[in-house]
A and B are shown apart, each in its own frame.
Chain A
Amino acid sequence: MSSIPMIRQTAGKGAAKAAARRPNPRAGRPRNRGGAGDIRRPGPLTYGALGAVLLASLFPLYWSFLVGSHDSTALSRGIPLLPGGNFLANAAKVFDSIPFWKAMGNSILVSTVTSASVVIFSTLAGFAFAKLRFRGSKGLLVFVIATMAVPTQLGVVPLFIVMAKLGWTGSLWAVIIPGVVTAFGVFWMTQYLRDALPDELIEAVRMDGASMIQAFWYVGFPAARPAAAMLALFTFVATWTNFFWPFIVLDPSNPTLPVALQLLQAAHFVDYSVVLAGAVLATIPLLLLFIAAGRQLVSGIMQGAVKG
């Protein structure tokens, strides 16, 4: 399509001017033709479809809350669709049986540090791969992607040996360090920066005498903001819900949340109402994050489209 050169122009510095120049979208256009650029609100059919999707997405969380608000007989006897009154009692049991708050603190620490470092290092590497020319960049990028193909089950024993030699078993470092930069993050930022960061911008700022790192900090990082925010969110959630490796390397006295929650299942007859109450409690911080970050993300994404 011939719009490609137009995109090159509109996604760069000129985009803001172009947006100002844009004519009134409603004027002079056939009524019933609408595309994605349509400011008109979508119809009931769209909302219906979306509603169905949301229902399926939210139902398991609601179901967990339902079971968590009944008692241990809930699962075997069939749960009514309305919540029972037992949630707070189950929550109290959760707090009593496992080091919930310590685990929550650990999870917050680990997830925050990991997502911050993943964003920084991935953007740095993505900046290099996407915009800088250096020998072997293509091959190294392929190598980065290939590293995602290493099955994790493979790595458990050797990684544990490494952690043991470093004396980090049982410490949160063993969980943070392996996650400090991910291939997914590097790949994601590379692919995003390729299109979202015009070369001209970098050249301009370099000609003004900026060093490489300054170019990155003043131009590259801001341009990557929407994708970086997305990456931070994904990494935070993935680290928060990660069970396997923390389980192997941490001790039950210093756990992250999923490891601590697993302790609720340590009995011959598992009281799933308590287990699911714990699961819901562990999800609440993430939901709060969604609400806080969601607004940021939405506006950030939109800005990225206009400012480039």
Chain B
Amino acid sequence: MVDDEESSSKSVRRLAFSQRLSRWDVKVSPYLYISPFFLLFALTGLFPLLYTGWVSLHNWNLIGGQCKFIGLENFGFVLGQPYFWNAVGNTLSIFLLSSVPQVVLALLIAAVLDANLRAKTFWRMGVLVPFVVAPVAVGLIFNNLFADQFGLVNEFLGLLGLDPVRWHSDQLASHFAIATMVNFRWIGYNALIFLAAMQAIPRDVFEAATIDGAGRVRQFLSVTVPMLRPTVIFVAITSTIGGLQIFDEPRVFDQSGLGGADRQWQTLTMYIWELGWGQRNFGRASAVAWLLFLMIVLIALVNFLLTRRIANQGGRK
């Protein structure tokens, strides 16, 4: 009797142990799997974020490192600067001029690439080539195109009988030129992201739609786009976050890298660079960086809600 009870209790215990192990596996594994990211982020993301927050509350020169605690004075000062608001406006303008065409054109290109083309690899990899062109080459080409007096675009406009556009003096024109540079680089990239998602849509759905009598455009709007909703949201968020931090393209747009004599195309990240590395005022640069961070979070959130709404409506037709 005792043996039976002992052995049964032993086996119960053994079962409990492996069960516990499995339960522990289920509970802990998720945290384990996401920990590499968070560990790394703590080092390379959180620490800089906190450090910069700390710096922004002080009077801090980049080399000298003076530390006089001045609280939110840097923030107050920066918010009162016309150049700050100018940079905000420029950033938003360039962002809108680049993100919207990017997403729309990337979708269209992906739709075309999705078709049954000959030499698929060539077309699909071809659109990614702009992503690998060296920035120095991109800078040279676009400066040649958009130079005010001797640029190719202005020459072309002259042939058409139009006035030359002052790409480096006129604020909106400069935004347009820079947005073109940005779009050039990222449209193919986003197109491939959409393409991957489109390819995951089973063909049967389109069969059904065709049988229901929907034409190509209708299918695109009513089938493809709604099915791509998560991807569209993904691209919208990532291109928002990236688009509000545009730095390389406006920097190569002219020789001084400050954003134009009247700051016509100075984005917020360029303003941070000017304050921090140009004027060596690390405190103010950090304040602007934190403001930019908050702005990005806010706008990405808005974008997320907006995109979800739009993509939803497309599906309900």
From B49, B198, B207, A154 is in contact (CB under 8 Å) with: B49
Do A140 and B132 have beta carbons less than 8 Å apart? no
Query: In chain B, residues 261-317, which have Cβ atoms closer than 8 Å to a Cβ of chain A?
Result: 269, 272-273, 276, 282, 286, 289, 292-293, 296-297, 300, 315
Query: In chain B, residues 88-103, which have Cβ atoms closer than 8 Å to a Cβ of chain A?
Result: none
Given the known inter-chain contacts A35-B214, A50-B112, A75-B140, please indicate yes or no for A149 contacting B293, CB distance below 8 A. yes
Kindly state whether residue B83 has any CB partner on chain A within 8 Å. no
B237's closest neighbor in chain A, by CB? A145
Could you give, for residues 90-127 of chain B, a 1 whenever the CB lies within 8 Å of some chain A CB and a 0 otherwise? 00000000000000000001011111111011111111
**Min CB distance, A43 to chain B, in Å?**
10
Kindly state whether residue B184 has any CB partner on chain A within 8 Å. yes
Do A180 and B29 have beta carbons less than 8 Å apart? no
Do B199 and A22 have beta carbons less than 8 Å apart? no
Do B30 and A145 have beta carbons less than 8 Å apart? no
Kindly state whether residue B151 has any CB partner on chain A within 8 Å. no
Stretch with Cβ within 8 A of A (4 or more), from B8-16, B74-82, B161-169, B187-195: B187-195
Do B222 and A1 have beta carbons less than 8 Å apart? yes
From B43, B216, B220, B300, A162 is in contact (CB under 8 Å) with: B43
| Residues in B neighbouring A294, C-beta threshold 8 A | 121-122, 124-125
Kindly state whether residue A58 has any CB partner on chain B within 8 Å. yes
Do A35 and B206 have beta carbons less than 8 Å apart? yes
Query: In chain B, residues 17-61, which have Cβ atoms closer than 8 Å to a Cβ of chain A?
Result: 22, 25-27, 29-31, 33-34, 36-38, 40-41, 43-45, 47-49, 51-52
Do A6 and B204 have beta carbons less than 8 Å apart? yes
From B202, B226, B293, A15 is in contact (CB under 8 Å) with: B202
Do B114 and A181 have beta carbons less than 8 Å apart? no
Do B199 and A279 have beta carbons less than 8 Å apart? no
Do A144 and B128 have beta carbons less than 8 Å apart? no
Kindly state whether residue B247 has any CB partner on chain A within 8 Å. yes
From B26, B125, B198, B300, A290 is in contact (CB under 8 Å) with: B125
Q: Bin chain A's interface residue count.
A: 35 or more
**Min CB distance, A2 to chain B, in Å?**
8
Kindly state whether residue A268 has any CB partner on chain B within 8 Å. no
| Residues in A neighbouring B135, C-beta threshold 8 A | 241, 243
Residue of B124, B196, B211 with most chain A CB atoms under a 10 A cut-off: B196
Do A180 and B36 have beta carbons less than 8 Å apart? yes
Given the known inter-chain contacts A127-B33, A148-B241, please indicate yes or no for A36 contacting B220, CB distance below 8 A. yes
From A37, A178, A261, A282, B210 is in contact (CB under 8 Å) with: A37
From A150, A184, A188, A272, B45 is in contact (CB under 8 Å) with: A150
Kindly state whether residue B2 has any CB partner on chain A within 8 Å. no
A75–B141 alpha-carbon span in the complex (Å) = 10
Do B297 and A149 have beta carbons less than 8 Å apart? yes
A15's closest neighbor in chain B, by CB? B202
Do B134 and A261 have beta carbons less than 8 Å apart? yes
**Min CB distance, B220 to chain A, in Å?**
7
Do A211 and B22 have beta carbons less than 8 Å apart? yes
Do A49 and B112 have beta carbons less than 8 Å apart? yes
Given the known inter-chain contacts A153-B272, A187-B234, please indicate yes or no for A121 contacting B123, CB distance below 8 A. no
| Residues in B neighbouring A241, C-beta threshold 8 A | 131-132, 134-135
Could you give, for residues 138-174 of chain A, a 1 whenever the CB lies within 8 Å of some chain B CB and a 0 otherwise? 0010001111111111110111001000000000000
From B44, B141, B204, A178 is in contact (CB under 8 Å) with: B44
Kindly state whether residue A91 has any CB partner on chain B within 8 Å. no
The 5 closest A-B pairs by CB, nearest first: A37-B206, A155-B48, A279-B134, A212-B29, A149-B296
Sample (13) of A-B pairs whose CB atoms are under 8 Å apart: A3-B209, A10-B204, A41-B117, A53-B127, A60-B184, A148-B238, A148-B241, A155-B49, A180-B36, A283-B132, A290-B125, A295-B121, A304-B200
